[in-house]
Every structure is written in C-alpha cells, then in structure tokens.
Structure 1
Amino acid sequence: MRILVVGAGAVGGYFGARLVAGGADVTFSVRSGTEAVLRESGLRVLSPLGDLHLQEPRLLDSESDAPFDLVLICTKLRDLEAGIDIAEAHLADDGLAAALQNGVESEERLKSRLGAKRVLGAVAYIAAALERPGVVRHTGEMARLVIGLPGGGSHPVLDALVAACKRAGIDAEAAADIEAAIWRKFVFLAPFAGLTASWRRAIGPLRENPNAWAFYGNLVHEAVAVARACKVNLPEDAADQVLTFTRGLPEGMKASMLHDLEAGRPLELHWLTGAVARLGAELGVETPASSSVTAELQPYADGTA
C-alpha cells in the first residue's frame, strides 16, 4: 500500500514518521519551505514513546508519483480544500482519503469532492506540537488512531492501514460507527480548546478554579446538545465522560488552539468552539457559552503574527 501524507506538522509528522519506521511506503506532501528543511535536516520526532529521525523522508515531486492507495490529509482545517486538491490529483481510483483533522465537517467536504466511496473517516488522539519545521514534539504517551468507513463496512485499504499501524506500534482501532467516534472527540476538544484559549491557561489551574470549571461544563453540555440535535449516537452520559476524562489530563496540557494563539498563528476557532455556536444556531440549540468564547477569540482567528 502506498500512502501519501499531506502535511508534516504535529499530526502528519508524527504518524507519518511512525509508519515509515514500521516499514510502510510513505511519501510526504509539504510546502516549499518545509520541503527545504526536510531535504536538509530530515524529519525528527521527539517522543516519550521513542525518538525518530527520518534522514531522507520521501517527498512528493510530481504527478508521476501518483497514484496512492491512501491519502492522509494532516493539515490545519483552514487548508482542507488545498489538501483535497492534492488528494484529488494523486489518489487511486479505488483508494481512500482521510482527514486527520479536528472538527466534524471534513468528511462531508471529502465526500462532495472525491465521492463517498473514496472517503475514510478518521480520528487522531495525540498531544503534539510542531516545535519548528521538521521537528515534532510529542508530549505524553497518547498517540491513537480511530478509523472507519462512513456507514460502516470493510475495505482493503482500511485493513491494510490497521495492519501497518500495528507494525509501527501505533494504537489503531477500526470503528463500526466512525461518525460517533469523530463527535466523541469533538465534544471534548471544542470545549477544551475554547476554555484553555479564552482563559489563556493550561487545564491544571482551570480545574482548580470553580468558575472556570463550571464554564467548561457549560461548554461541554452545549457541544453534546448540538451532537444530539445532529442525531449522533452518543452515550447518555457523554458529558459526564468528557468531564471525567478532562479531570485526568496532565495539568500542563493545552489545546492546540491555545498554542496557536500564543504564537500568533491563525486559529481553528471556526471549526471548533465556533462550530458549536454556528451549528447550534442552525439547529435551534442555545449555546451561550460557546458563542461568548467565539466572540472573544474572533479578533485573533486570522492570527496576529
């Protein structure tokens, strides 16, 4: 199986490098600036699970590199359309493309561009950041992929990806209901990003602040209410599960949206906390906490650097 990873940031760099180390045939599609760094210094992953250094990662050179059996789009959400352009140009007719991104709307964009039969749903669970171009720092030991076909079922590419992950030591699971899996992450991440970014703090101090924790609870319940309005199959105690999970996180953990805010980079606000407010308005679900966070962070959405 030939794999094309679009983007070599925190997610694409980590999982792509692990797959290469496990023997998978992986090519990276990156921007010109990143390409220059990777050609000179390679791709490094610094991780409690073991460091990696790909001295000469294979980079996408031309149309002659097509086709690929699997395309993993690992860009930020604002670059989704550009990622789909690359997938459209390089994906085999019987291949699959997945977006390892945050949010709950990427799969529909993939379907509309590539066709439903060429789309793989995916969720990435990892705390990692791009320390600098070509260097990914993984914090903690969580690095997990949940993948599945929208609507369920099997596919040779799905099976091959699970097998490749196992060879690479990546915790990977094939989900029967990938839509529910995507939303389970979303109802945690959108509130977590909104809280840590709007309060400009890691989760540890916020858990100890009664006002912050109560506000987080409101964000979580709003996200779950929107999911239910979208007819997503979440457990009855979904909100309680998110709160329990968040209580167990390392005290220094921040959402990537806070990392981006601190660095002056564009935010994924529109697709995370902003999506809760936007979808809530469309579905008639009240989301006052999510709407207030969205309004507060909107001036920084396009970055300040």
Structure 2
Amino acid sequence: MRIGVAGAGAVGSYFGSMLEQAGYPVTFLARGAHLAAMQKHGLVIDGDSADVYSTKTFTDDIEDLAASDLILFSVKSNDTARMAEQLLPILQDDALILTMQNGVDNEEILEATFGRDRLLSAATYVQAFLEAPGKVRQRGRVKLLIGELDSTASSACEEVIETFQAAGVDAVHSGQILKRKWDKLLWNVTFNPLAAASGAKVGQILDDPSLRKTAAAISSEVINVAVAAGIAVEPEPTTSKIFSNAVYARNHQTSMLQDRLQGKRMEVESMCGFIVRKAEELGLEVPTLQSIYSTLSFMNQQIESG
C-alpha cells in the first residue's frame, strides 16, 4: 500500500513515519521550515518508547501524491476544502481518504468532494507536537479508532486498520466512528480553546480554580448541544470521563495553543464555531464558549493580518 500524507504536521508526520518504518512507501506533503529541515536532515520522531527516523520522500508538490493508495488527510480544518479540491483530480479513483483531523465537520466536506464510499474517519489519540522543524515529539498513549462512513468500505477499512497494526500502532475498528469523534470533540472543546486563550497546559487548567470552572462551564454547554443534536451522550458520565482523561494529558500543550505560539491560524471554526452555530440552530445558549470563540476569532484575525 502506497501512502501519502496530506499535511505532514505533528500528527501526519508521526503516523507516516510509523508506517514507513514498517516498510510502506510514504510520501510526506509539507511546507515551510518543516519541509526544508526534513529535506535536508530527514524527519526525527522523538517517541515515548523509541526514536523513529524517516529519510525518504518529502515534498511540497501535490502531484507527488498521485500514486497513493491511501491518503492520511491531516491538514488543519481551515485547509480541508482547499486540499480536497487539489487532491481530487490527481488521485486514483479507488484511492482511500482517511481523515485524522479534529472536529466532526470535516467528513461532510470530504464526502462532498470524494464521495462516501472511499472515505474513512479516525479518532486519533496521540500527544504529538512539532518541537522544531523536522522534529516531532510524542509522549503518552497512542490509539486510533477507525471507521467507514459507508458499509461498502468495510473491507477497505479493515485493510487500513491492519496496515497500522503492522506498524505497531494500536488501531481498532469503530462501527460508530462519528459518535466516537463527537466524544473526542467534547474533550477537545473543553480544553483546547481555553488553553489557546490562556496559554495554559491541560494540567494548569485542572489545577487553577478559575480555569477549571471555565472548562467545566464549556463542557456543560457543549454536552447540552450534543444531546440536543441527537448524539447519544449521557451528561454526568461524559463530564466525569472528560476530566478524568485530562489527568493523563496534564503536560500536554494542546494543538490550538501550539498553533498560537507558532503564529499560525488556529482551528477556531472547526473546534468552536461549529458548536456555536449548532447551538444557535438548536436554540441553545453557549455563553462561555461564545466568549472564548470571540476571543480566538479576533486572535486569528490578528495573525492573518500579520
């Protein structure tokens, strides 16, 4: 299986490197200083259990992904539509698309572009960040939940899961992948935007009474939206799980905070805006999340204006 990584940031670089180490041909699509460093020195994964080195194909030419049998779609949600439109005309008709992105709205965009029968989705549980150009640090557990959006892709989905397992990745099938991604979104929305706005790591949010109270308010608001949207969520057990799981990520610097510190646009719309708009559609109030959303949206404008 030939694999293309569309968006070789921390997550794409980590999983692409694992697959390359297992003997699969992998092409990494990247840009900027990260690409330049990889082309010159290779890619280094400072892993929790071992270091991984990749030295093969790093490119900024999307045509180099044309022969891929599987695309690890791992760009930021801000770039989903643009990347999908660029990939569509060059990929083989039977190439599989696996979105490894945050949020629950990317699937709809990708389905509109590629169709439902070759689209797979993954809930990714990995603490990885770009420590320096060409170097990714990974700590803690790694797990992938992968599922098909259409039953016709079930056998293809199983093959992809086996491919990750062969690379030593804990990958399992989920028959309710969108529900599981909602579960992950609930955790992300509770901590990710607040971390970006405050500059705090997850453990600092847990330990600071005011920040923890704000996180709890966000969590409650978002769970209410999920329930009203028909997602099978039980509020009290879900809240307990969100905060108990956060203990294992105490030292984690969330992806949105990483982007802010690196001067990059944050995934504000996919992470916050989607929930805010869904709440409005359902006639619900989300005042705490709305405040964070407004703050981060303004920060994004400042980043974009330079």
Tell me the TM-score normalized by structure 2: 0.90
Distance 1:63 1:251 in 2: 40
Deviates more, 1:147-156 or 1:202-211: 147-156
Within 5 Å, give how 1:1-305 maps onto structure 2. Answer: 1-31=1-31, 34-57=34-57, 59=59, 63=63, 66-138=66-138, 140-151=139-150, 154-235=153-234, 237-246=237-246, 248-302=247-301, 304=303
Sort the Cα spacing of 1:69 and 1:113 in 2 relative to 1 into closer, same or farther, 3 A. Answer: same
Distance 2:15 2:64 in 1: 24
Distance 1:273 1:159 in 2: 32
Distance 2:194 2:89 in 1: 38
Sort the Cα spacing of 1:117 and 1:130 in 2 relative to 1 into closer, same or farther, 3 A. Answer: same
Task: Give yes or no for contact 2:77–2:101 (8 Å, CA) kept in 1.
Answer: yes
Distance 2:261 2:287 in 1: 25
- Deviation, 1:298, is 2.0
Task: Give yes or no for contact 1:125–1:145 (8 Å, CA) kept in 2.
Answer: yes
Letter in 1 for 2:51: D
Deviates more, 1:59-68 or 1:79-88: 59-68
Distance 1:195 1:150 in 2: 31
Distance 1:127 1:242 in 2: 16
Letter in 1 for 2:265: P
Sort the Cα spacing of 1:24 and 1:235 in 2 relative to 1 into closer, same or farther, 3 A. Answer: farther
Task: Give yes or no for contact 1:191–1:273 (8 Å, CA) kept in 2.
Answer: no
Distance 1:87 1:155 in 2: 23
CA deviations on 1:253-283 (whole Å, 9 max, x unpaired) are 2211112222322111111123222221122
In structure 1, runs of 5+ residues without a counterpart are none
Task: Give yes or no for contact 2:117–2:150 (8 Å, CA) kept in 1.
Answer: no
- Deviation, 1:83, is 2.1
CA deviations on 1:120-146 (whole Å, 9 max, x unpaired) are 1111111111123321111x2222211
- Deviation, 1:34, is 4.5
Distance 2:160 2:254 in 1: 27
Aligned length, in residue pairs: 303
Identity %: 29
Partner SS, residue 68 of structure 1: coil
Letter in 1 for 2:283: G
Task: Give yes or no for contact 2:35–2:60 (8 Å, CA) kept in 1.
Answer: no
Distance 1:251 1:62 in 2: 37
- Deviation, 1:189, is 0.3
Sort the Cα spacing of 1:111 and 1:171 in 2 relative to 1 into closer, same or farther, 3 A. Answer: same
Sort the Cα spacing of 1:145 and 1:31 in 2 relative to 1 into closer, same or farther, 3 A. Answer: same
Task: Give yes or no for contact 2:279–2:286 (8 Å, CA) kept in 1.
Answer: yes
Alpha-carbon RMSD across the aligned residues, in angstroms, is 2.2
Sort the Cα spacing of 1:56 and 1:235 in 2 relative to 1 into closer, same or farther, 3 A. Answer: same
